[in-house]
Amino acid sequence: MNPISPLDTLFPTTDQVPEAYRLGEPIEQREYLVDGQLRHWGGPVVTVRSPVYLADTGEDRQVVLGSAPLLDADTALVALDAAVKAYDNGQGAWPTMRVAERIQHVETFLASMRKQREAVVKLLMWEIGKNLKDSEKEFDRTCDYIVDTVNALKDLDRRSSRFELEQGTLGQIRRVPLGVTLCMGPYNYPLNETFTTLIPALIMGNTVVFKPAKFGVLLIRPLLEAFRDSFPAGVINVIYGSGRETVSALMASGKIDVFAFIGTHKAASDLKKLHPRPHRLRAALGLDAKNPGIVLPQVDLDNAVEEAVTGALSFNGQRCTALKILFVHEDVVDAFLEKFNQKVAALKPGMPWEPGVALTPLPEPGKTDYLATLVADAETKGAKVVNAGGGAIRGSFFYPAVLYPVSADMRVYHEEQFGPIVPVVPYRDLDKVIDYVLDSDYGQQLSIFGNDSAEVGRLVDAFANQVGRININAQCQRGPDSYPFNGRKNSAEGTLSVHDALRVFSIRTLVATKFQGANKELISKIIGNRESTFLTTDYIF
């Protein structure tokens, strides 16, 4: 008799879902936010499905969470007009507001947002299958990011409150907004990554049109009132619908000044090309990645395995920073695989709310088929799934597949799987690994596992001009959020961190004058009479 696979009992019945996480009535969302009003959409909607299935009827049934509006291009353009009006060519109340007041609006929003933690966390679990611990972390990390952003802006503003004197020229330099910003985030961090562009864009005085990610849509609904009540009309507008219909129209209008997007490089290029005034458009992009983990022959294998497993498989590998290919030296590859497979076997599959669960269903329709195709392709070219149960599928669930030995002719060697497949490539000559990084179309991060200082030092130098972050004996990751997060080639445009994001969404403007009698007097008068919000020595405490 076959032992019972954990996948046999993967999907629960409704009764098995803890009461605190059980769903109420489906959420039939019709509201969207434009010009300070929650408007009702009477047109078509899209059904929102969960990656979770329920086994109430004895067979697995995908849960329907509700529906979300499918706005058309004209309605998206109305939202854009609201943002354009609120910006008013930089003359609007928001872009000209004192920094201290803008901060107050953001703090009001944060206080309201915190009250929605439970609702958002629950929807993160049901909409994208993120486990409870990571869903809570995503929410809390986002709140921390907002607090840190406020503090960073206070610092920045304090530094700008003084005048400079250079070669007889008196100047005051301040960062000012860029204009109307389109913010679009990814489905794997539908709250956090979106807000790492949305909040800096807003706080610097830009006005925003925000379109939630393709999954993780309903979880923005509990925040709509908070947006509406915390910001002046038109400063933040939230639209829904297909990107092709809505976002294409926004870009083609030529009225977007900043494009903040996290997704594929292909989608980003297609959208950028639609903008008729390319020099007006600034872009902050977080794109594809294929971060390698490199295991050297002299290595603390236990640490390498520990980091590589979480690096490759946390949130089922659906992180842009995930380790998506492992190069392991031939001398240690057998031992590495044995330990790695043991750790993978210890990862608990289950539903997002189950204690200790690590592997959960995937939200993208068709994703398990795609992953199976990658595995089949590798198998026909000589690789094997070397972990027990690897590649098993149940509905939207794909059990991690460790593929070995992977070679350059296989699709998974090049394609970003964005899911639970771990390709392991054996190597003897380090040049093979260095060439992989040099020739890659991506350049986000990589991890080096080893303890021979000469070898690690050599690799750091080989890769320093290739990727945005080199992790030594640690998995790839974005945090801490005070560190720069960027990438080269097709992996990113611009650098984000709490500090950098304030700069990405603004530009320095200098007011300068010759340092002489009448000018000094004029400037003093403007400051003394408080006749400008730009020219001021006000200090935010």
Using CB under 6 A, list all residues that contact ligand G3H.
188-189, 193, 319-321, 477-479
Two tokens at 139? 């929410």
| DSSP string covering 319-358 | STTSEEEEEEETTTHHHHHHHHHHHHHTSEES-TTSTTEE
Find, among 442, 494, 479, the residue nearest to 463 by Cα. 442
Q: Which residue's CB is nearer to ligand G3H, number 194 or number 477?
A: 477
Q: Which residue's CB is nearer to ligand G3H, number 160 or number 445?
A: 445
Q: Which residue's CB is nearer to ligand G3H, number 188 or number 230?
A: 188
Q: Which residue's CB is nearer to ligand G3H, number 35 or number 416?
A: 416
Q: Which residue's CB is nearer to ligand G3H, number 252 or number 474?
A: 474
CB of 315 to ligand G3H, least distance (A): 7
Characterize 504-534 residue by residue with b for buried, 16 or more Cβ atoms within 10 angstroms of its Cβ, and e for exposed. Answer: bbbeeeeeeeebeeeeeeebeeebeeeeeee
CB of 422 to ligand G3H, least distance (A): 17
Whole-number Å distance between alpha carbons of 526 and 350:
64
Q: Residue for token digits 């979300």? A: 68
- Helices 430-439 and 453-463, interaxial angle, to 10°? 20
What are 27's strand-pairing partners?
Answer: 66
CB of 30 to ligand G3H, least distance (A): 30
Q: Which residue's CB is nearer to ligand G3H, number 142 or number 237?
A: 142
CB of 504 to ligand G3H, least distance (A): 15
Q: Which residue's CB is nearer to ligand G3H, number 387 or number 477?
A: 477
SS3 242: coil
CB of 131 to ligand G3H, least distance (A): 13
CB of 263 to ligand G3H, least distance (A): 10
CB of 196 to ligand G3H, least distance (A): 8
Q: CA torsion 147→150→151→155, rounded to 10°?
A: 170
CB of 347 to ligand G3H, least distance (A): 17
Whole-number Å distance between alpha carbons of 410 and 47:
36
Q: Which residue's CB is nearer to ligand G3H, number 324 or number 478?
A: 478
Strand 180-184 to strand 258-262: parallel, antiparallel, or no bridges (unpaired)? parallel
What are 169's strand-pairing partners?
Answer: 166, 514
Q: Which residue's CB is nearer to ligand G3H, number 67 or number 477?
A: 477
Angle value at C-alpha 99, between 148 and 537, nearest 5 degrees: 115
Whole-number Å distance between alpha carbons of 297 and 275:
50
Find, among 349, 314, 350, 363, the residue nearest to 129 by Cα. 363
Go through the chain and tell me how many residues it has: 541
CB of 483 to ligand G3H, least distance (A): 11
Structural contact between residues 326 and 295, judged by C-beta atoms closer than 8 angstroms: yes
Two tokens at 240? 């829904």
Q: Which residue's CB is nearer to ligand G3H, number 498 or number 523?
A: 498
Question: What is the rounded end-to-end Cα distance, in angstroms, of the chain?
Answer: 71
Q: Residue for token digits 């080989």? A: 462
Whole-number Å distance between alpha carbons of 313 and 476:
12
CB of 520 to ligand G3H, least distance (A): 48
Structural contact between residues 299 and 332, judged by C-beta atoms closer than 8 angstroms: yes
CB of 2 to ligand G3H, least distance (A): 36
Structural contact between residues 127 and 318, judged by C-beta atoms closer than 8 angstroms: no
Q: Which residue's CB is nearer to ligand G3H, number 247 or number 262?
A: 262
Q: Which residue's CB is nearer to ligand G3H, number 131 or number 321?
A: 321
Structural contact between residues 239 and 32, judged by C-beta atoms closer than 8 angstroms: yes
> CA 333: distance to chain centroid?
33
CA distances for 296 relative to 90, 310, 426, angstroms: 54, 18, 11
CB of 474 to ligand G3H, least distance (A): 11
